[in-house]
Amino acid sequence: MKNQNKNAGTAGFSIAELVIAMTIMLIVLGLVSTLFARALATRQRESSRTDALTSAQAALNVLSREIANSGYGLAGNGIVGADSDAGKLHFLSNIRNENEIFTDPGENITYYFDGNTRSILRHDANGGGANTPQTSVIINRISRLEFRYFDYLGTNPPTGPNLTPTVDTSRVRVTITVALEPHGDVNAPNVVLVSDVTLRNSDYMLRQY
């Protein structure tokens, strides 16, 4: 009878042992949760980075393709010098080749950066029909858009990059700066995408054929 009572009193864990075990489990769960949260944050950050860069590259391709048509069907390079500078590019093209009448969509375009919305905007003077302007957002989450101009005159080496275009501008450098989201207390570096666009109807380009 005494042996049975002794065994009953020593079976199981004491309260102190349970408290220690629960404390260890909570610490392990806390560490696992922290690691999981960090992994999830890293994944979200990289996904956002990839989306931002992919969108910026797509936008740069759109700008490059359309700017290359500047001056198409015209006698000059198509750039409206009085309305173009380092932050804005206004150009004309005569896609339908109807005696230099710019009344069709895509023939009178202005690209510029809107700092308030951090967006690149495309203004089409005829986007909604003849003489009906239409402005659309090409991409947002952009920190900067820059244009630089290279002039080609005769067989001389090109001059530039210049902040403003001239009648001799034959190549435009488009630079898009993407500000990536910061990670914790560390600011992510900006990513710069650059495209050099040779105007297909420029005098320089025509001399290549």
Q: Which of 136, 132, 173 is nearest to 151 (CA)?
A: 173
Angle at 134 between CA 104 and CA 128, to 5 degrees: 50
| The predicted structure's pLDDT at residue 104 | 85
Rg, the chain, Cα only: 31
pTM, to two decimals: 0.74
Average pLDDT over residues 10-14: 66
| 179-to-25, 55, 67, 115, 185 alpha-carbon distances in Å | 42, 13, 24, 13, 15
Span of 62-71, 121-130, 177-186 with lowest mean pLDDT? 177-186
Q: How many residues does the chain have?
A: 209
Q: Which of 93, 74, 102, 62 is nearest to 206 (CA)?
A: 74
Q: In this structure, what are the phi and psi dihedrals at residue 112, rounded to the nearest 5 degrees?
A: -155, 170
Q: How confident is the model at residue 146 (pLDDT cuts 50, 70, 90)?
A: very high
Is a pLDDT exceeding 90 seen at residue 184?
no
Is a pLDDT exceeding 60 seen at residue 3?
no
Residue at 120: amino acid letter: I
Is a pLDDT exceeding 60 seen at residue 142?
yes
Average pLDDT over residues 71-85: 90
Span of 29-33, 67-71, 183-187 with lowest mean pLDDT? 183-187
Mapped onto helix, strand or coil, the DSSP state of residue 171 is strand
Is a pLDDT exceeding 70 seen at residue 32?
yes
Is a pLDDT exceeding 80 seen at residue 6?
no
| The predicted structure's pLDDT at residue 123 | 95
Average pLDDT over residues 86-108: 84
Average pLDDT over residues 99-125: 88
- Report residue 101 as tokens: 């009448």
Average pLDDT over residues 56-63: 91
Q: Strand (E) positions, the chain?
A: 88-92, 108-114, 119-124, 134-139, 144-151, 159-162, 169-178, 191-198
| The predicted structure's pLDDT at residue 209 | 47
Higher pLDDT, 25 or 82: 82
Q: In this structure, what are the phi and psi dihedrals at residue 163, rounded to the nearest 5 degrees?
A: -80, -20
Is a pLDDT exceeding 60 seen at residue 26?
yes
Is a pLDDT exceeding 80 seen at residue 126?
yes
Average pLDDT over residues 56-65: 92
The kind and range of the H/E element at 123 are strand 119-124
Higher pLDDT, 97 or 95: 95
Q: Which of 5-19, 40-54, 97-111 has the highest mean pLDDT?
A: 97-111
